[in-house]
Amino acid sequence: MPGLCRDCTAVFDAGPAGRCPSCGSERTIAHPELNELSIVHVDCDAFYATIEKRDDPRLTDRPVVVGGRHRGVVMAACYVARRFGIRSAMPMFQALERCPEAVVLPPDRAKYSAVGRQVRELMRGVTPLVEPLSIDEAFLDLDEGKSSDTAAPAQRIARLIRKIEQDVGITASVGLSYNKFLAKIASDLDKPRGFTVIGRREAQEFLSDKPVRLLPGVGPALEKCLAGDGIETISDLRAIDEPVLLDRYGAVGRRLARFAGGEDARRVSPVRQTKSISSETTFDHDTSDLEVLASALWPLAESVAGRLESSGFAAGTVVLKLKTSGFRSLTRSCTIPEPTRRARTLYETALQPLARLSGGQRFRLIGIGASNLVGADQADPPDLFGNDDLAFDPARAARAAASGGNRHGSSSRA
């Protein structure tokens, strides 16, 4: 069976001992399809927090949380902090209740963007077929991309991960499979510093007992709808003929049937016809608190701004998305005078309809999106990008919105 060492990247015929014959490391992988798979999902581990630990070794073993300390929300939590139940988008006061000794650091978005670009360039050194998903994750196709490296895809990606660790000083986890859907699932199975393989022969068995929410496009509302029809696991879904799913759920039903069978025809595409970029979060408990809603919106705005920057787009329209406790979706689009990639502009624009829509309603989800995308060259002057965000206090803006103090003018339409 083919084997690979994750430390020295040697390839070998895996034996029963499981150790690398070259360096003796126990961090090895053995899989019958190891040399046949070429679709990769690379996801940097606790990206913001890991960068902060890299830059301050005193934080190595400390629980580190990135975000606004006063009335803010968690943007990122290291793996030490996650042991206390801290996660992204959690109100900071809750995070500190769970772990009072956590080190809370303000985000340094300019630094994170620079590191993201550095990682992206290393990826492109392996294959030109790199499809960014966000500042810290991407799909790679190591089969069709032209490369001077003739090594098997698994060895090439192991070399990439080692180079990220050595040159950038952060870690990443890898999912290797035969399509994007399964590669993305695999990358999340063994974090941090994981390298997980899902092959064709095991895919259906692997998926069978997994909840339907694991499938792309299945959010809380669709999951609830599927559960109402007795579909809770992927095997439940697989037991229903595709025409029945198509009749019941439309085009979504066809996609669900394909994913449930381990199929995904999407190609890794470095140039995508992107129509919109968005980010959203679901609350642990439904809330009508406008300040909580506004605070949760800021890290989402930062996420969208980062993805706009990494993909070379700017937003002409900002979209606010809300989902009520009764699963009713509300969206409002706000056209802005000049296209932007700034988190602050996205955030402040979305605050306006948020203040008008809240009105005591309880919400389970909030999101922000960028649409009417144009090239980045039509947006904010490069020398100003980021500085405005770094000086911005989102907690103060959230309090102002909650108290009715947000008075920015902009056109809004349903």
For residues 86 and 102, membership in a common domain is answered with yes
Q: What are the pLDDT tens digits along the chain (414 aa)?
A: 899 999 999 999 987 668 899 999 999 999 999 999 999 999 999 999 999 999 999 999 999 999 877 667 888 999 999 999 999 888 888 999 999 999 999 988 889 888 998 999 999 999 999 988 878 899 999 986 555 667 889 999 999 999 999 999 999 999 999 999 999 999 999 999 999 999 999 999 999 999 999 998 787 888 999 999 999 999 999 999 999 999 988 888 999 999 999 999 889 988 655 678 999 988 888 899 888 899 999 999 988 988 888 777 889 999 999 998 887 889 999 999 888 989 999 999 999 899 888 777 899 999 999 998 887 767 764 433 334 455 567 777 777 766 664 443 333 333
User: Cβ of 44: how many Cβ atoms within 10 Å?
Assistant: 23
For residues 184 and 140, membership in a common domain is answered with yes
For residues 254 and 337, membership in a common domain is answered with no
CATH at residue 250? 1.10.150.20
Residue 26 domain flag: no
For residues 42 and 169, membership in a common domain is answered with yes
Residue 24 domain flag: no
Place of tokens 């190609």: 267
How much is the CA Rg of the chain, to the nearest whole Å? 22
End-to-end CA distance of the chain: 58
For residues 293 and 393, membership in a common domain is answered with yes
Residue 14 domain flag: no
Measured CA to CA, the distance from residue 242 to residue 253 in angstroms comes to 7
Place of tokens 């990606």: 157
Place of tokens 């809770």: 232
Q: Which of 208, 229, 248 is the endpoint of a domain? A: 208
Helices (H), 2-62: 47-55
Residue 56 domain flag: yes
Q: Please, which residues have CB within 8 angstroms of residue 378's CB and are 6 or more apart in sequence?
A: 314, 339
Q: Give me the torsion for CA of 63, 68, 71, 75, rounded to 10°.
A: -70
Residue 98 domain flag: yes
For residues 227 and 360, membership in a common domain is answered with no
For residues 228 and 123, membership in a common domain is answered with no
For residues 319 and 196, membership in a common domain is answered with no
Range of the domain at 356: 276-413
Residue 268 domain flag: no
DSSP 8-state class, residue 211: B
For residues 379 and 303, membership in a common domain is answered with yes
Measured CA to CA, the distance from residue 104 to residue 342 in angstroms comes to 23
Q: Tell me the backbone φ, ψ of residue 211, rounded to 5 degrees.
A: -70, 150
Q: Please, which residues have CB within 8 angstroms of residue 19's CB and are 6 or more apart in sequence?
A: 25, 26, 28
Q: Please, which residues have CB within 8 angstroms of residue 381's CB and are 6 or more apart in sequence?
A: none
| Residue 274, token pair as written in the block | 């992107």
DSSP string, 52-95: HHHH-GGGTTS-EEEE-TTT-BEEEE-HHHHTTT--TT-BHHHH
Residue 327 domain flag: yes
Q: Please identify every residue annotated as catalytic.
A: 137
For residues 309 and 334, membership in a common domain is answered with yes
CATH at residue 167? 3.30.70.270
Q: What share of the chain is helix, strand, coil (3-state, %, to 5)?
A: 40, 25, 35
Q: What's the distance, CA 320 to chain centroid?
A: 19
CATH at residue 389? 3.30.1490.100
For residues 202 and 214, membership in a common domain is answered with no
Residue 235 domain flag: yes
> Which H or E run contains 258?
helix 251-260
For residues 214 and 294, membership in a common domain is answered with no
Q: Tell me the backbone φ, ψ of residue 65, rounded to 5 degrees.
A: -125, 130
Number of domains in the chain: 3
Measured CA to CA, the distance from residue 329 to residue 209 in angstroms comes to 30
